A and B are shown apart, each in its own frame.
Chain A
Amino acid sequence: MAEASAVELSRVGHAYGSRQALTDITLTIPTSEIFVFVGPNGGGKSTLFRLLTTLIPPQQGQLTILGHDARQHAAEIRPLLGIVFQSPSLDKKLTVRENLQYHGAVHGMPRRIIRQRIPELLAAWDLSDRATDLVERLSGGLRRRVELAKALLPSPKMLLMDEPSTGLDPAIRRELWERLRAARDEAGLTVILTTHFMDEAERADRVAILDQGRLVALGSPEELRARIGGKVVSLASSDPERLAARIQERFGVAASIVTDSVRLELPREPGWTDSLLKEFPDAIDSLTLGKPTLEDVFIAETGHYFGPPGESENGGVGEVVGRA
């Protein structure tokens, strides 16, 4: 019965009125993969998420989820999905256990199974001693765990999460990922999540980078980084635009501006950084050498800066200087 692929998108597109939110997306997600859709806000992630949850049917192209056509057979797909929304879906006036109970009932689970599953999940997510606490009394990290326990209660085949890390501190994020991997290893769960944190996408088995509704890159984080090659240099400067222009002029390499620092792919051996420092001793405040990140991949593929949330609309997008 196990499907080879959990999700197949073939030329999927979606428009809200005249605004095309998603264009021509084709990709396949195998079962038991941890897959991340990453991109800036407005990149099409939310629309994709809605399509995958069957909240909206696809307008263009073909979407198959767990062997069922999403346009015609949403009702078959729904019982197989565990969904964690970006905004919390817990009832704060109910206890942890009650939230799980009602969720089970809305998913058509028999009472006997609900009673049996709840203690299992509470134990797995270290919530056993909070079962009778009202959700409004829990911390943000604990609420996330309850959300996940709730989504996994009906034993879904696929877990969908929209921006699950928003509002979580790094330690809790790491813990979340460990738990997700454990759940995947144990139950063969397919995990699909969206995020606008590039560093988070690095943890996935495979990543799809979305920008302006289009798929700009697809592959494992290693594969994508390998496209950039060697190393990446970050230069802090009081006048990054001028510095970038001068580097471009002097060395003929593409330089982009990322949050007030100049970023460029290292075209030659590491010793080249010395000549950079020699050439612009006053303009460079500091120099950082690092492995390329998915953010560098994003810049290389789209030609513009991947801004932190909220900045992308008001000047956060820096043009890559000197890119052909």
Chain B
Amino acid sequence: MTSLSTPIKGNAVSEAGPLVSRMPLSGGVAAALALAQREWVRFLRQRHRVFGAVGQPVLFWILFGAGLESTFRLPTAGEAALSYREYFFPGTVVLILLFTSIFATISIIEDRREGFLQSVLVAPAPRWAIAWGKISGAATLAVAQALLFLIPGMWGLGIPWHFTSFVAMLGLLLIISLALTALGFWLAWQMDSTQGFHAVMNVFLMPMWLLSGAFFPAGEGWLGIVIRMNPLTYGVSGMRHLLYWGDADAATWTRLLPSLGLSWLVTLAFAGAMMFLAVRATRKRISGDLL
């Protein structure tokens, strides 16, 4: 094994012809579906993973909900009574998506280390299929896990149920998940240790979530600016709009958020950009391919 860990440096691969797969599109889709299915099969065999991805956010929700209940007040909507537990609810759902995405993409590093990935890398399947398989499998898993909290949570908080807005919300959650998984994939693809990924998670992914309006609303000043620049903010705001669709009371404060249209637009662009980065990363041959 030692002799296999030599990294490729410099122009080692620059002479390569284009690595264009000759597989027809249908073959690429079938390969991606198989890899997505693998994510589900693996998950269902390790069901304890659900505690990591759902348990911790729910615990946060219960603890922060209780702890901040008495002091929390929406800065711009004094008349609308909104408990912190309810304010924090969509943020918790997004945190479940984030955790699932992180756990799923960490497995890329494990796939590399354990060897599964090497046989996929030399397979005739196009690289986009490898990326899409992992990302779509993980993103659908993330939405499924979020539902485990979303549905009882809505019922418990007494948030009214509208079929159309709920379906739209599922679509939005899926796109947020795709964005987060693709982001995780892009980061994990270039790493060869899970420790490195944990560092990125702590200094980048968690703050991204904290500063998305999930935890506290965007106020004035630099924090507000950062929150408005964060693409995840628009996923959270989109979710708030859809949760309170047609609710006149809630509109007094949801109208202060980015509009629903803008939320969709930014979330879609976020997902598109991350998918692009993820697929582009897989095209490059890196030293980690040779682990």
Contact = CB atoms under 8 A, between A and B. Distances in A.
Interface of A: 15-17, 19, 21, 41-42, 45-46, 50, 53-57, 59, 71-76, 78-79, 81, 83, 85-94, 98, 101-103, 105-108, 111, 134, 150
A46 B15 CA distance: 20
A86 B1 CA distance: 8
Contacts of A57: 13, 15-17
A83 B119 contact: yes
B122 interface: yes
Contact of B1 (A42, A76, A87, A108): A87
Contacts of A103: 119, 123
Closest 9 CB pairs of A and B: A105-B34, A108-B27, A89-B119, A72-B17, A57-B16, A17-B9, A87-B115, A78-B124, A106-B123
A94 B42 CA distance: 7
B81 interface: no
Interface string B77-113: 0000000000000000000000000000000000000
Nearest to B119: A89
Nearest to A42: B3
Given A55-B285, A106-B124, A106-B129, 20 more contacts: A16-B8, A17-B10, A19-B6, A46-B3, A46-B4, A55-B118, A55-B122, A56-B8, A56-B285, A76-B22, A78-B123, A83-B122, A89-B116, A93-B42, A94-B42, A98-B41, A102-B34, A105-B30, A106-B120, A134-B45
B55 to A, nearest CB: 21
Contacts of B3: 41-42, 45-46
B31 interface: yes
B9 A16 contact: yes
Interface of B: 1-4, 6-10, 12-13, 15-17, 19-24, 27-28, 30-31, 33-35, 37-38, 41-42, 45-46, 114-116, 118-125, 129, 285, 289-290
A74 B126 CA distance: 12
Given A87-B118, A92-B114, A75 B30 contact: no
B42 A106 contact: no
B6 A21 contact: yes
A75 B21 contact: yes
A107 B118 contact: no
B42 to A, nearest CB: 5
A93 B31 contact: no
A91 B38 contact: yes
Contacts of A71: 15-17
A201 B15 CA distance: 33
15 contacts: A59-B12, A75-B20, A78-B122, A88-B115, A89-B119, A90-B116, A93-B41, A93-B46, A94-B38, A98-B41, A105-B33, A105-B35, A106-B119, A108-B30, A134-B45
